[in-house]
C-alpha cells in the first residue's frame, strides 16, 4: 500500500493557519480586511486579554447570504477572484480564501451576518460546524473568535504577553485607519477604548486622531504623479523623528505593505535631515495599475513585488526632497504637549490648540482646524498653495554669542539659537558637494609634496582606483615601494590639513571598493571634510563672522540640519518667551 495520502481538510487548514494566523493581530487583520472589502463605513474591534481570549469584529457592510456564509469557511472559497486572469487585476484586500477556514481551525468562531434580507448565525469550533440557524436582519457582519490556539498548544505557548499582543493589534488598526481614512475604526480592549477615528475621509485629521496635535501640526503634505504612479500623503518635519521604522507607513492601492526598496527611498529622501538612527513619520499612499503589482507572494499579503520600482523610488525621493526644501523646518525650542500622560493627551492638545489660536500672532500660527465646511474645502482647492517662508525671508540679526558655541539672533517673531559648528558644517558640506560635482576642477600645486606609505594590500587597492583621485583633481604618482606621492590637490581642501584630508579620502576609497558608488563616495568625503573644516564649539568669533555665517547658512539648500542630521537652528517665539516669564498667563 502506498505511503502518500491526501490529508484531511481540517489538518490542511491547521497547517495553513500556521502561515496566516501568526498572532492575534493576524486575525484582526484578516477580519478587518474582509469588513473593508464588504464596503463597511464603520468597523469596531473588541479584544479581551490582548486578543488571546476574544477577538470580535463588527461592521456595517453589505453582509452575506446564507449560502455564502456557509461556504466562506471552506478552504479556497472566495468571492474576490474566479479565474486565473483575475490575479493580475486584484482590487480587494482579500482573495486567497484561506483566512476564515484557518482561523476557524484553531479557535471557536461565531458568525452573524445579514444582507438586510436574510440573516445567518453559524458557530464553528476547531473547524467543525456546531450550529447553523437564522438570525436578525441587522445589516453587516459580526464575527467573534475565542480561545485562540486552544487545540494547538505548541502555538499557544509562543503567543506573547497580553500587552505585546495588544500593542501589535493597536499598531495594525492604526495603519488600517490611515490607509482608509473614510472608514471609522474603533478598537476597544477589555471594554476600554484604545483607538477611535472618525472616518471623515481627511487623512490629516486621521493622523491627528492617531498621533495627536504634536505630530499632526508638524506634517507636510505631498502630492505628485507620473505616467505610472500617483503619490499622496504626509511626511514629518525632521524635529519629530522616531527611533524605529514602524511609522514609515506605505500604502499601495489601499493595502498596507512592507517593502525594503520603498522604505530605503523614504529614508534616502531625509538624507542629512536626520541621523542614521532616527526615522521619519511618513504616511505614503501609492496608487498604480494593479498589473504592476504582485501581492500573491505570501499568505499575509504584506510583502509585494512591483514593476518599475526604479521609477517609483525616484518619484518618491524627488517629491519628498522638494517638500522638505520648500518648507521652513526650524524647530520650536519649547514643546507644550506632554507625551507621558496618554489619558489626558487629547484634552491637553485641544486646550493648547485653543490657546495658540487665541494668542499667537497670525503670521506664526501653525494650528490645524478640522471643522471645515464642505464649501470652504472646495474654495480652498482653488486657492494657490503658499509654502512657508524660507530662511532668507526671516531676516535674522545676530546679537551675541552664548558659551562660545551658540549664536543668538533675533527678528520680529522671536529669538533663534544657531549652533555655529553645525551651521558651518552644513555650509562646508554643500560647498564640498558642489566642488565634487563640478565638471572642471581647480587645483593647486603643493610646495612640499605629500608622501603616503601604505601596506601592500592597501597599495594594490588604491592603485586599482587611482583614476578616481585623478578625476577629483589630485596629482598622484607611484613613489617607490607601496608608496604614492601627491604633488597637487583640489583647491577645496582645507589649508593646513591637506595630508589629513588626503588620508581620510584614501580610507574611504579603500573601504568602499566592494560596491563603489561615486555619489555616496562624494557625500562621504563632503561630510568627513566638512566637520574638519568647521568652527569648533567654545571658539569665540566676531560679530562680523557671525553675520557672515548666518548669511551663508541662509543660502544653503538645507539650512536646518548639519550633514549628520543634527539641527543647526532652533526658535523661541515671542509667545514662548512671554509664557516662560509669566508675561502671558494663558
Residue 467 shares a structural domain with residue 362: no
Least trusted range by pLDDT, from 269-273, 296-300, 323-327, 500-504: 296-300
Residue 464 shares a structural domain with residue 541: yes
pLDDT of 538 > 50? The answer is: yes
Residue 287 shares a structural domain with residue 336: no
What's the confidence (pLDDT) of residue 350? 43
What's the confidence (pLDDT) of residue 368? 46
First-residue to last-residue Cα distance in the chain = 87
Give the pLDDT mean for 512-521.
62
What's the confidence (pLDDT) of residue 282? 96
Q: With beta carbons less than 8 A apart as the criterion, state whether 470 and 460 touch.
A: no
Give the pLDDT mean for 292-302.
64
Residue 361 shares a structural domain with residue 429: no
Q: How confident is the model at residue 457 (pLDDT cuts 50, 70, 90)?
A: confident
pLDDT of 221 > 50? The answer is: yes
Residue 157 class from Cβ within 10 Å (0-12 exposed, 13-18 middle, 19+ buried)? exposed
Q: Give 339's Cβ-side CA count (13 Å radius).
A: 5
Q: With beta carbons less than 8 A apart as the criterion, state whether 541 and 404 touch.
A: no
Residue 4 lies in a domain: no
CATH assignment at residue 155 = 3.30.565.10
What's the confidence (pLDDT) of residue 337? 41
What's the confidence (pLDDT) of residue 1? 55
What's the confidence (pLDDT) of residue 473? 86
Residue 212 lies in a domain: no
Q: With beta carbons less than 8 A apart as the criterion, state whether 237 and 218 touch.
A: yes
Residue 392 lies in a domain: no
Q: How confident is the model at residue 512 (pLDDT cuts 50, 70, 90)?
A: low
pLDDT of 354 > 50? The answer is: no
* Distance, C-alpha 100 to centroid of its chain: 31
- Whose cell is 544657531? That residue is 418
Residue 297 lies in a domain: yes
Residue 424 shares a structural domain with residue 506: yes
Cβ partners under 8 Å of residue 105, min gap 6: 10, 13, 14, 16, 17, 126, 127
What's the confidence (pLDDT) of residue 356? 39
What CA–CA distance (Å, rounded) separates 229 from 315? 8
- Average pLDDT of the chain is 80
Give the pLDDT mean for 316-334.
87
Residue 164 shares a structural domain with residue 29: yes
What CA–CA distance (Å, rounded) separates 259 from 267? 12
- Whose cell is 613613489? That residue is 479
Q: With beta carbons less than 8 A apart as the criterion, state whether 156 and 68 touch.
A: no
What CA–CA distance (Å, rounded) separates 89 from 155? 35
Task: Tell me which range, 52-61, 99-108, 156-165, 359-368, is most confidently predicted by mean pLDDT.
Answer: 52-61
Residue 201 lies in a domain: no
Q: φ, ψ for residue 236 (rounded to 5)?
A: -90, 155
What's the confidence (pLDDT) of residue 519? 72
What's the confidence (pLDDT) of residue 298? 56
Least trusted range by pLDDT, from 52-66, 111-125, 173-187, 302-316: 302-316
What's the confidence (pLDDT) of residue 374? 41
Q: How confident is the model at residue 336 (pLDDT cuts 50, 70, 90)?
A: very low
Residue 431 shares a structural domain with residue 529: yes
pLDDT of 371 > 50? The answer is: no
Q: How confident is the model at residue 104 (pLDDT cuts 50, 70, 90)?
A: confident
Q: With beta carbons less than 8 A apart as the criterion, state whether 130 and 121 touch.
A: no
Residue 315 class from Cβ within 10 Å (0-12 exposed, 13-18 middle, 19+ buried)? buried
Residue 451 shares a structural domain with residue 522: yes
Give the pLDDT mean for 368-393.
46
What's the confidence (pLDDT) of residue 530? 84
Give the pLDDT mean for 141-153.
87
Between 551 and 305, residue with greater pLDDT: 551
Is the full-model pTM beyond 0.85? no
Residue 496 shares a structural domain with residue 554: yes
Residue 27 lies in a domain: yes
The range of the structural domain enclosing residue 15 comes to 9-196
Total count of domains within the chain: 4
What's the confidence (pLDDT) of residue 386? 34
What's the confidence (pLDDT) of residue 375? 40
| Grid cell digits, residue 462 | 588604491
Residue 206 lies in a domain: no
pLDDT of 534 > 50? The answer is: yes
Q: With beta carbons less than 8 A apart as the criterion, state whether 32 and 99 touch.
A: no
Task: Tell me which range, 181-190, 301-310, 357-366, is most confidently predicted by mean pLDDT.
Answer: 181-190
Residue 283 shares a structural domain with residue 306: yes
Give the pLDDT mean for 246-265.
91
Residue 202 lies in a domain: no
pLDDT of 8 > 70? The answer is: no
Q: What percentage of the chain exceeds 70 in pLDDT?
A: 80
What's the confidence (pLDDT) of residue 110? 94
pLDDT of 48 > 90? The answer is: yes
What CA–CA distance (Å, rounded) separates 341 from 535? 41
What CA–CA distance (Å, rounded) separates 409 from 554? 13
Least trusted range by pLDDT, from 87-101, 132-146, 179-193, 376-390: 376-390
pLDDT of 372 > 60? The answer is: no
CATH assignment at residue 312 = 3.30.230.10
Last residue within a domain, chosen from 304, 325, 346? 325
Q: With beta carbons less than 8 A apart as the criterion, state whether 461 and 508 touch.
A: no
Residue 404 shares a structural domain with residue 551: yes
Task: Tell me which range, 217-221, 345-349, 439-443, is most confidently predicted by mean pLDDT.
Answer: 217-221
Between 297 and 309, residue with greater pLDDT: 309
CATH assignment at residue 582 = 3.30.1540.20
What's the confidence (pLDDT) of residue 159? 83
Residue 532 shares a structural domain with residue 586: yes
Q: pLDDT, tens digit, for every residue of 17-38? A: 555 677 889 899 989 998 998 9
Between 240 and 20, residue with greater pLDDT: 240
Reference 488, options 501, 474, 498; nearest CA is: 474
Amino acid at each position: 500500500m502506498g505511503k502518500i495520502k491526501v490529508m484531511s481538510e481540517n489538518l490542511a487548514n491547521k497547517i495553513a493557519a500556521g502561515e496566516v494566523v501568526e498572532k492575534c493581530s493576524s486575525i484582526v487583520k484578516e477580519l478587518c480586511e474582509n469588513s473593508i472589502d464588504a464596503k463597511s463605513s464603520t468597523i469596531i474591534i473588541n479584544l479581551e486579554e490582548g486578543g488571546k481570549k476574544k477577538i470580535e469584529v463588527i461592521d456595517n457592510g453589505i453582509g452575506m447570504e446564507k449560502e455564502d456564509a456557509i461556504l466562506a469557511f471552506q478552504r479556497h472559497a472566495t468571492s474576490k477572484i474566479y479565474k486565473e486572469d483575475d490575479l493580475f487585476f486584484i482590487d480587494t484586500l482579500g482573495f486567497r480564501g484561506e483566512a476564515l477556514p484557518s482561523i476557524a481551525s484553531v479557535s471557536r468562531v461565531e458568525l452573524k451576518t445579514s444582507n438586510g434580507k436574510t440573516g445567518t448565525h453559524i458557530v464553528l469550533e476547531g473547524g467543525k460546524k456546531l450550529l447553523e440557524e437564522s438570525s436578525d436582519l441587522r445589516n453587516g457582519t459580526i464575527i467573534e473568535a475565542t480561545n485562540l490556539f486552544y487545540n494547538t498548544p505548541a502555538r499557544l505557548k509562543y503567543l506573547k504577553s497580553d500587552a505585546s499582543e495588544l500593542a501589535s493589534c493597536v499598531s495594525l488598526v492604526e495603519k488600517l485607519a490611515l490607509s482608509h481614512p473614510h472608514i471609522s475604526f474603533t478598537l476597544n480592549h477589555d471594554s476600554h477604548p484604545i483607538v477611535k477615528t472618525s472616518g471623515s475621509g481627511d487623512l490629516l485629521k486621521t493622523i491627528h486622531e492617531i498621533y495627536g496635535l504634536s505630530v499632526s501640526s508638524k506634517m507636510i503634505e505631498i502630492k505628485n504623479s507620473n505616467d505610472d504612479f500617483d503619490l499622496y500623503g504626509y511626511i514629518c518635519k525632521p524635529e519629530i523623528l522616531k527611533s524605529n521604522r514602524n511609522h514609515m507607513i506605505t500604502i499601495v492601492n489601499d493595502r498596507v505593505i512592507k517593502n525594503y526598496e520603498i522604505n530605503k527611498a523614504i529614508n534616502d529622501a531625509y538624507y542629512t535631515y536626520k541621523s542614521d538612527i532616527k526615522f521619519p513619520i511618513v504616511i505614503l499612499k501609492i496608487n498604480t495599475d494593479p498589473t504592476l503589482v504582485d501581492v500573491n507572494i505570501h499568505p499575509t499579503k504584506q510583502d509585494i513585488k512591483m514593476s518599475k520600482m526604479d521609477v517609483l523610488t525616484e518619484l518618491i525621493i524627488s517629491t519628498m526632497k522638494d517638500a522638505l526644501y520648500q518648507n521652513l523646518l526650524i524647530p520650536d525650542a519649547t514643546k507644550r504637549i506632554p507625551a507621558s500622560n496618554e489619558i489626558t493627551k487629547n484634552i491637553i492638545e485641544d486646550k493648547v490648540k485653543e490657546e495658540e489660536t487665541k494668542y499667537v500672532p497670525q503670521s506664526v500660527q501653525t494650528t490645524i482646524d478640522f471643522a471645515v465646511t464642505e464649501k470652504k474645502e472646495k474654495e480652498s482647492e482653488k486657492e494657490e498653495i503658499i509654502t512657508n517662508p524660507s530662511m532668507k525671508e526671516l531676516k535674522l540679526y545676530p546679537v551675541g554669542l552664548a558659551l562660545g558655541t551658540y549664536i543668538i539672533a533675533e527678528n520680529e517673531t522671536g529669538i533663534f539659537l544657531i549652533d555655529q559648528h553645525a551651521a558651518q558644517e552644513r555650509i562646508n558640506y554643500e560647498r564640498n558637494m558642489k566642488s565634487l560635482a563640478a565638471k572642471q576642477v581647480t587645483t593647486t600645486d603643493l610646495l612640499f609634496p605629500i608622501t603616503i606609505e601604505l601596506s601592500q594590500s592597501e597599495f594594490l587597492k588604491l592603485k586599482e582606483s587611482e583614476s578616481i583621485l585623478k578625476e577629483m583633481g589630485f596629482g598622484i604618482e607611484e613613489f617607490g615601494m607601496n608608496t604614492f606621492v601627491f604633488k597637487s590637490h583640489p583647491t577645496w581642501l582645507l589649508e593646513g590639513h591637506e595630508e589629513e584630508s588626503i588620508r581620510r579620502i584614501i580610507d574611504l576609497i579603500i573601504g568602499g571598493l566592494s560596491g563603489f558608488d561615486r555619489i555616496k563616495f562624494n557625500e562621504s568625503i563632503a561630510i568627513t571634510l566638512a566637520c574638519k573644516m568647521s568652527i569648533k564649539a567654545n571658539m569665540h568669533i566676531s560679530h562680523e563672522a557671525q553675520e557672515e555665517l548666518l548669511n551663508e547658512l541662509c543660502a544653503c539648500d538645507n539650512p536646518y540640519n548639519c550633514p549628520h542630521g543634527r539641527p543647526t537652528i532652533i526658535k523661541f517665539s515671542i509667545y514662548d518667551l512671554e509664557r516662560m516669564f509669566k508675561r502671558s498667563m494663558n
